[in-house]
Amino acid sequence: MAGITDRFIAKLRVRDEVSDAEAAAVEGLVNRTRDYPADTTVVRAGEELTESLLLVDGFAYRYKDLRDGRRQILELNLPGDFVDLHGFVLKRIDHSVATLTPATIAFAAHDDLRRVTVEMPHLGRLLWFQTALDAAIHREWITTLGQKSATGRLAQLFCELRERLAIGGLVEGDRFHFPLTQAELGEVTGLTSVHVNRTLKSLREAGLVTIDRGAVAIHDLVRLKREAEFDPTYLSLEKRPR
Amino acid sequence: MAGITDRFIAKLRVRDEVSDAEAAAVEGLVNRTRDYPADTTVVRAGEELTESLLLVDGFAYRYKDLRDGRRQILELNLPGDFVDLHGFVLKRIDHSVATLTPATIAFAAHDDLRRVTVEMPHLGRLLWFQTALDAAIHREWITTLGQKSATGRLAQLFCELRERLAIGGLVEGDRFHFPLTQAELGEVTGLTSVHVNRTLKSLREAGLVTIDRGAVAIHDLVRLKREAEFDPTYLSLEKRPR
DNA sequence: CGGGGTTTTGACATGGGTCAAGGAACGTGG
DNA sequence: CCACGTTCCTTGACCCATGTCAAAACCCCG
């Protein structure tokens, strides 16, 4: 892989044309990189940001803490995700960011983002688009948490991750890397780890999905999608000019 | 009120400086206005947009349909909200928009938005910020739906609306206009209308809130906030340069 | 090969859903 | 300004999906 931002650029290119000059500008945004161990909080809710995090390699997630130690995971972030790009305009961040696996993170200074978006308005819209896509994913999860059963929630997650990982070429056949514990799965889906366990069992026995040694294997994608009422429109997988 | 976009500009001015030239540019974006009756779907999920909707007056909401007629309301929109500004960069919209009351809606063509954001980059960032604020509200609702009880969900809604309406001067003392049926409240909170009814009763009997003739009256804000675990950070109510 | 973190399972509790029906409120036409 | 139909609110009885608590079993990883 030639550049630090290649995976991110690849995601943009699914949705729109990205010129070489724009790709170079993105690569130029990143002034340093840092490695983190697994299970490390990188940004804490309430902080003021002057740079945004691009996840180069590894898995991460964003979450909110509640009073008594409960947490809600808001979104899983995959290699190539610009994790908190919205911090560029929000400034004060409303949630924390943590690694799930050992991860390499690159940093883009907000001053540089401002310069680049002024000089290259189309690239600016592409970055804006990425934050709007995040919001669309949030909306799908509002719907999932508000309306779907335990089975539907887990099915939704697997369908979504499969699509998002496929963009980066991170799905092999029907399998992809999946480093969440069942407790963390519960924090994503708003369920207890005990009920996650039972629901996974029923999905397994129905021949839809299994999780084995940190990998998901989807055995019946059609039925899994039906179980989730999965409609990928919200992922904006079509190419169109912005 | 002098201009169609005054309420929207007022919301921007809570978060950052907006020059007269920028305010005039926003007013110039709006080329036409249209009135809609209550309970009318204005934009349908899956449509491709070439303009975005600014809610001038009245209440609206965004929602997703599920198979069997169930719906999830994603966010309530208040007078002065730029309801689907994210459509400017998403193009194809993942949800529907409907009016809750009779409403006046103004339209901003995406071509004009593109021109304005190129010519006035700071204004562009303010618009971007508005979409990021929407996403922050979504994240709060993911947490609310994933982790909070029926009581907490309703309390959260009342606390949030109070803050958001106060910006536009739409809260009088402890009361504000609230035109939702209990069935619609259920679609916001992921509950059945029957359970919404019971939960409202318990909030009423605990002396926290009452709903009467289309208005909410908050009787004990401190306890209501505690019930919701309400922390307004996500609403970005501080003024800071973008 | 020992031990902390996971996963799995069982027994039981409960918040919220379902179904059903009566009552209140409200808009519309006469 | 009344009558009537429709929608909305309220309540009761019962049910079920998911939560709680607790204990084994498993499984890496050092």
SS3 per-residue string spanning B165-195: HHHCCCEECCEEECCCCHHHHHHHHCCCHHH
Question: In the predicted model, is pLDDT for residue B1 greater than 70?
Answer: no
Give the number of other Cβ atoms within 10 Å of residue B177's Cβ.
Answer: 16
Cβ distance of A138 and B142 shorter than 8 Å:
yes
Element (DSSP H or E) covering residue B134: helix B121-147
Asked if residue A172 has pLDDT above 70, the reply is yes
* Partner residue opposite B147 with nearest CB, options A62, A141, A190: A190
Beta carbon of B181 within 7 Å of strand D? Answer: yes
Cα separation, A54 vs A4, whole angstroms: 9
CB-to-strand D under 7 Å, chain B 86-145: none
Q: What percent of chain A has pLDDT over 70?
A: 100
Averaged over A182-187, what is the pLDDT?
98
Q: Is the dihedral of CA A105, A110, A112, A117 positive or negative?
A: positive
Q: Among A230, A77, A86, which Cα is nearest to A151's?
A: A230
pLDDT at A1 over 70: no
Cβ <8 Å between B125 and A67: no
Which of A91, A130, A142 to mutate to test binding with chain B, by most B CBs within 10 Å of its CB? A142
- Whether the Cβ atoms of residue B182 and residue B197 lie closer than 8 Å to each other: yes
CA distance A202 to chain B (A): 21
The Cα of A136 is separated from the nearest Cα of chain B by a number of Å equal to: 7
Which token pair is A159? 């369908």
Candidate from A45, A66, A138 with C-beta closest to B135? A138
* Chain B residue whose CA is closest to A121: B118
Q: What are the structure tokens assigned to B140, written together?
A: 């709060």
A117 Cβ neighbours under 8 A, 6+ residues apart:
A123, A124, A127, B121, B124, B125
Kindly report the CA angle at A156 between A151 and A160, in degrees rounded to 5? Answer: 155
pLDDT at B198: 98
Name the closest nucleotide to B184, judged by C1' and CA: D8
Residues B177, B78: Cα–Cα separation, whole Å: 10
pTM of the predicted protein model: 0.97
Question: What percentage of chain A reaches a pLDDT higher than 90?
Answer: 96
pLDDT band of residue A2 (cuts 50, 70, 90) is confident
- Tens digits of residue pLDDT in A97-124: 999 999 999 999 999 999 999 999 999 9
pLDDT of residue B33: 95
Q: Could you give the CA distance from residue A74 to residue B21 in angstroms, rounded to a whole number?
A: 38
Residues 140-169, chain B, touching A (beta carbon < 8 A):
140-143, 145-147
Q: Indicate whether B31 pLDDT > 90.
A: no
How far, in Å, CA of B196 to CA of B189, rounded?
Answer: 9
Q: pLDDT, tens digit, for every residue of B173-206?
A: 999 999 999 999 999 999 999 999 999 999 999 9
Contact of A242 with A129, CB cutoff 8 Å: yes
Interface A:B, Cβ pairs < 8 A: 140
Which one of B143, B187, B189, B230 makes the best mutation probe of the A interface by having the most chain A beta carbons within 10 Å? B143
Mutual orientation of helices B6-15 and B121-147 as an angle, nearest 10°? 80
Q: Compute the average pLDDT of residues A177-194.
A: 97
Nucleotide nearest to A149 (CA to C1'): D17
Mean pLDDT, residues B44-56: 97
Question: Which tens digit of pLDDT belongs to each residue from A41-99?
Answer: 999 999 999 999 999 999 999 999 999 899 999 999 999 999 999 999 999 999 999 99
At A197-238, the pLDDT tens digits run 999 999 999 999 999 989 999 999 999 999 999 999 999 999
A102 touches strand D (CB under 7 A): no
